[in-house]
Amino acid sequence: MSDYQVVNPATGEVEQEFPTATDAEVQEAVERAHTAYASWRTTTQDERAAILLRVADLYEERADELARIIAREMGKPLKEGKGEIALVASIYRYYATEGPGLLADTPLSPKMGGDAVVRKEPVGPLLGIMPWNFPYYQVARFAAPNLMVGNTIILKHAPQCPESALAIEQLFADAGLPSGAYVNVFATNDQSTDVIADPRVVGVSVTGSERAGSAVAEVAGRHLKKVVLELGGSDAFILLDTEDLGAAVKAAVRGRMGNAGQACNGAKRMIVVDDLYDDFVTAFTGAMAGLTPGDPLEDGVDFGPLSSEQAVVNLVEQIDDAVAKGATVLTGGKRVDRTGAFMEATVLADVTPDMRAFSEELFGPAAVVYRVADAEAAIALANDSSFGLGGVVYSADTAQAQEVADRLDTGMVWINTAQGSAADLPFGGTKRSGVGRELGPYGIDEFVNKKLIYTPAAR
């Protein structure tokens, strides 16, 4: 049985299998990327940009087909899938249009005289190890800036996303990307370790779990390879005060339930000041209880199944652990009694530090609500986490919101709006949420050689 399968989480059926790469095929993938780099790095920025613009067009032209693929692979409703694809297209367009400026020489003014510039140059073939929860978007965050730089890509996608992985590779080929500049490979974890160690590969980017990031970073460090790690999160949604409680509740639900709660930067911990807590929890719990999962291939679905049977098992175990230790289930808490990996939208209260739900990431449609006395207590609770990806601060007092944002130990903070993502805004975290940045002007700087070129003053 191959590791790479399409197992429809709405039905539990294995719809298609793809052979895992042999060692020889993995080596061939590395060699193709290595060979292509020699010529791809010499293409002009205009040539690269033209291909990325065509990639963006093809994503939009094929949106229906691509959305249906991931609905079957990991359960994303069609509307959300098309939204992901629209974001992906914007990422390729951003780096195509802004890339030349972002890669322009940076002049320096050396005190010893003369002229100096820092020139951004490509570094070589890169390995990307990508997850299943945003099959197109995660790849775009990594591939778009690095192809614009002139690096080449070897891509190991999640084993449950083989069809989307092949669709991405085909899309690049159809856009005119030279053979070998982007290579998909259905590798095992052990084979990926060998790729990282290969001297032809200069860096690796991982989006995934803490465990995966730690394992990759260990191998990369041993071989002196640069890494970018985008890992888990347990983002806080802090509600201090508001002139529109309904809007805040709507944002909290949206932040928690996007992709059936399977987003690293989803709002997982609702931290609410005492005088708003009861009203917020009543409204939030009611809104969550009103959501029902459905077939991701049908229109009007509130949210789809979790990505797999194991994902349901993991989430139920976390919830059961909390309940056994005294937590209160305000709504949901169980898997749905139907075929497929469906889970009820869940709200937990009275969660304490001895429970797994306090410290672990809840990767699914489950939120935890906390009552706090004031902003100081909200900051302390929000920072009491090993994660530091993002967070949300709601307050009618924008100065207070900014002050709280400054004190959160996270890579991103969103004020008076649900978390999101945009091509021109950097994405990344601190602590166990990873290292490095993707998207925006910082995303193109991770895998470049910032070469100093100095010319002394004429004598």
Q: How confident is the model at residue 105 (pLDDT cuts 50, 70, 90)?
A: very high
Query: For 276-298, what is the mean pLDDT?
Result: 97
Q: What is the pLDDT of residue 446?
A: 98
Q: What is the CA radius of gyration of the chain?
A: 23
Phi, psi of 284 (to 5 degrees): -65, -45
Strand segments (E) across 40-189: 106-108, 115-121, 125-129, 152-156, 182-184
pLDDT digits (tens, 9 = 90+) for 404-442: 999 999 999 999 999 999 999 999 999 999 999 999 999
Task: For the chain, give the mean pLDDT.
Answer: 97
Q: How confident is the model at residue 299 (pLDDT cuts 50, 70, 90)?
A: confident
Q: What is the pLDDT of residue 458?
A: 85
SS3 292: coil
Query: For 34-57, what is the mean pLDDT?
Result: 98
pLDDT digits (tens, 9 = 90+) for 334-351: 999 999 999 999 999 999
- For the annotated catalytic residues, the residue numbers are 230, 264
For residue 1, pLDDT beyond 70 = no
Query: For 169-192, what is the mean pLDDT?
Result: 98
SS3 388: strand
